[in-house]
Homo-oligomer: A and B are copies of this chain.
Amino acid sequence: MRIAPRSYVTLLLALSVGCRETSPVDQGAVPVATLNAQRNGAAEKRAGDGDELVQFSLLAALAAGDYAGGAPLVDVRQFGDFGVGTFDRLDGEMIVLDGEIFQVVASGEVVRRDDQGATPFATVTFFAADGTIEHVSAGSLTELDQTLDRRVPHDKRPFALKVTAEFEELTLRSAPPQKPPYRPLAEVIDQQRVWKRENVRGTLVGIRCPEWMGTLNVAGYHWHFLSDDRKVGGHVLDCRFNDGRAAYDECSSVLIRLPASASFGAIDMSGVSEADVNKIERQRGGK
């Protein structure tokens, strides 16, 4: 954006304060930063409302092999405190939780990351629960997805989902860093490491994208895990738990930040299908 005239900001404030989701033409959330600026006594001009799902690059570009470099981790934390992703060269699984970035490398070790480094693909939001579901149990990850499908509203908007529980069993995976020339993700997935853990207390960090997002992100659910002691984590292939608690944050918009890199400019995404994404992210068969 460039700069919106100050008068529109003032008018927007007049229109939006206190009318969230009540007007037939309301697009959703009150612009938090705008309100915050008013509280600070400064007019503010900004794009984006208060509730974006923010993704860095496209899953289709990652799936096609655009693994190098990407968005600085400092950007990831600027745009969200909760989410999932990977790292430069596909070096492990990213969990963003409570504003901190964790990396689960292929050995299963969990590394707390500072702002150095980059991500070729990540999806984050600032998590603020719009609703909670108590006493959630699931015999499998697929069962969890089905339970949430029944309880979480609106299938055209993305959701961030936070499930806290004592997990009886978790099947987790991560992947080792790749070397150029990079092969497509569906081909390197055979290098992934998979392990199980039992009786671990922690958080499922999930994003549910609507079907219309196709291969831009993972349509449906995408789950990563981090234990309360920050020692166990990874991309979740399966899990089992009783009496957990789920919180969900409905996102009113999607911000897609596109790499400026030559590799992104050159990548051929035309061969990436939703079946590839399902194979890469779920390995559960079907959708």
Q: Tell me whether A258 and B52 are in contact (CB under 8 A).
A: no
> Is A115 interfacial (CB 8 A cutoff)?
yes
Q: Tell me whether B78 and A12 are in contact (CB under 8 A).
A: yes
Q: Tell me whether B54 and A21 are in contact (CB under 8 A).
A: no
Report the count of interface residues on A (CB-CB < 8 A). Answer: 79
> Is A216 interfacial (CB 8 A cutoff)?
yes
Q: Among A1-9, A169-177, A180-188, which stretch is in contact with chain B?
A: A1-9
**Oligomer copy total:** 2
Q: Which residue of B lies closest to A26 (CB)?
A: B260
Bound Cα distance A93, B248 (Å): 38
Shortest beta-carbon distance from A153 to chain B in Å: 8
**A155 — which chain B residues lie within 8 A by C-beta?**
265
> Is A154 interfacial (CB 8 A cutoff)?
yes
Shortest beta-carbon distance from A110 to chain B in Å: 22
**A256 — which chain B residues lie within 8 A by C-beta?**
253-256
| Minimum-distance CB pairs A-B, first 9 | A47-B48, A2-B126, A48-B48, A46-B46, A25-B118, A28-B260, A253-B257, A1-B126, A254-B256
